[in-house]
Structure 1
Amino acid sequence: MATNSHMRRDEIVKRATTVGLTGVEELAAHFNVTASTIRRDLARLTAEGLLARTYGGAMAPAAHPESALRQRAGEAYDAKLAIARTAAQLIQPGESVLLDAGSTIALLAHELKATSRLHVATTSLSVIAELNDSKGIDLECLGGRLRALSQAFVGPLTEAALERMTFDRAFLGADGVSATDGVCEAELTQTRLKELMARRAERVYVLAHGAKIGHRPFHFWTRLGKPWTLVTDESADPDELRAFEAEGIDVLVAKNPAAAQSDPPAEVKPQNALLQ
């Protein structure tokens, strides 16, 4: 696998943050270069803070601590807005919808404020704040233990409430998402809750902007057994998206905010779109 030095180092970092790195000799064989070339690559990437050296190889630096919801709200805002607007157009009048926590989900809630004949259940304080005064929305708040970082409820009380309800659609957030492993989260309590959310809905959507596709910041995963749809944006790596499609996962790619407002996704019949 011959490649130039810039592309090779980019690929080394990508492998370190997704599948992990093997030793120097294995990397040299993979890239069809000498071991000394790989050592120079690793030294440079380590100096730049992109890798941490180990005996005989390298690894990704220790994962950053989970950031608070208010810190994430401004990250990749345009991409999240495009995703939220695309997701909103999937929802039909009269449906029952489950909204997870997260900054993209909060933007989706904002897009739904003016809709009518909609039942929404959520664990998210941000969603509650967006929809609490919406006259056309019947809002259910799923209580439990408040998780401060995500500003959302988790735990057995939340799960007990969910067991008594079903939904037409569930929209899940993610810290990272993988074609093979599902949704990555910071805590096991979150993975358990998302699994239950997915089981209680007819259709399941994971909203994740391009930087989260293939990203593995933590070691806890939600496996989504039933068919589900990934809603992402144009910054997502096409090769990563093909991996999802190969696993039978539907993929919707949101256009930029201006375009996403005018062109509904293929699943929506124009006469039923809420955002017309």
Structure 2
Amino acid sequence: MSQTIRHPEIIEIARRDGKVTVERLSAHFGVTHQTIRRDLADLAEAGRLERVHGGAVLPSGTTNIGYADRRQINAAAKDAIAAACAEAIPNESSVFLNIGTTPEAVARHMLAHRNLLVVTNNMNVGQILVANPDCDVVVTGGALRPSDGGLIGDVTTTTIRRFKFDVAVIGCSALDEDGDLLDFDMQEVGVTRAILQHARKVFLVSDGSKFQRKAPVRVASVADLDAFFTDVPPPPGFVSRCKDEGVAVTVAACANPAD
């Protein structure tokens, strides 16, 4: 199989799974590790991938991945994370669901919850939960971000401050091993801080690929969390920070892990 055939498929696998590895690509294409390393080097030189130990990930830099593509990355892992998080959210509670594909997945697992009040700045979440007749949905309002259906800005934070949530579910674009939650948009900072200040419990939902990404804006830290739901064991430094801060870590079993 030629490079011209392998390269587009490698990019597609990276978009689907969040990461590609030399070992798995070698087995998938039936070529040597050296051939795959050359492929990844060529794709990295072209700016289509970013090399990491043992493989490559989609470029991070200071730009975000498109929302439709993000839905497909690690989709099975996000679904498992969302199911575990939703199970921890009791009926008859008030919940905030933030912007992001994993909080959106949590909403899909809340369609059978009863007597909920859900406030969200995620238009996608509102559209999902309108199908649950036992869920009252409040959409915050604010400046609509066309890239992902998120609502941000002063109107959003003002609405959030009118509530006290039993649980807030947040995501992030990247995670540092030292415990920082990172994002790409400065306006996320004010919204996230308002959420943290007005929630009795804060749940972070994030798949393991976020430890391999970079983003420039610090929005919170593990000290602000009560629970972290993910799909793979986090790096030791992050686990240590969670332990120090009393954050419960749940590693959700993925029913259909990537090959």
**Normalized against structure 2, the TM-score is what?**
0.72
Residue 217 (str. 1) matches residue 214 (str. 2): yes
Residue 190 (str. 1) matches residue 188 (str. 2): yes
Counterpart for residue 61 of structure 2: 63
Residue 174 (str. 1) matches residue 172 (str. 2): yes
Find the aligned partners of 1:184 and 1:150 in 2 and give their Cα distance.
17
* Offset, 1:65: 2.1
Moved runs in structure 1, 4+ residues, more than 4 A? Answer: 45-48
The one-letter code of the counterpart of 2:218 is W
Counterpart for residue 242 of structure 2: 245
Q: 1:122 to 1:223 in 2, by over 3 A?
A: same
Counterpart for residue 74 of structure 2: 76
Q: What is the RMSD of the two structures over their aligned residues, measured on CA atoms? A: 2.5
Q: 1:244 to 1:253 in 2, by over 3 A?
A: farther
Find the aligned partners of 1:93 and 1:210 in 2 and give their Cα distance.
28
Equivalent residue pairs, number = 205
* Offset, 1:174: 0.9
Q: Which has the larger radius of gyration?
A: 1
Find the aligned partners of 1:131 and 1:62 in 2 and give their Cα distance.
31
* Offset, 1:70: 1.4
Structure 2: where are the runs of 5+ without partners?
A: 1-39, 45-49, 52-58
Give the SS at the match of 2:158: helix
8 Å CA contact retained: 2:60, 2:214? no
Counterpart for residue 199 of structure 2: 201
Give the SS at the match of 1:116: coil
Structure 1: where are the runs of 5+ without partners?
A: 1-44, 52-60, 259-276
- Please list, as runs of the form range in 1=range in 2, the aligned pairs for 1:1-276 lying within 5 A after superposition: 49=44, 50=50, 63=61, 65-213=63-211, 215-224=212-221, 225-234=223-232, 236-248=233-245, 249-257=247-255
Give the SS at the match of 1:140: strand
The one-letter code of the counterpart of 2:199 is A
Find the aligned partners of 1:219 and 1:181 in 2 and give their Cα distance.
14
Find the aligned partners of 1:227 and 1:179 in 2 and give their Cα distance.
15
* Offset, 1:150: 2.3
8 Å CA contact retained: 2:169, 2:205? yes
Q: 1:84 to 1:227 in 2, by over 3 A?
A: closer
* Offset, 1:133: 2.8
The one-letter code of the counterpart of 1:242 is V
Give the SS at the match of 1:223: strand
Counterpart for residue 3 of structure 2: none
Find the aligned partners of 1:81 and 1:257 in 2 and give their Cα distance.
9
8 Å CA contact retained: 1:85, 1:257? no
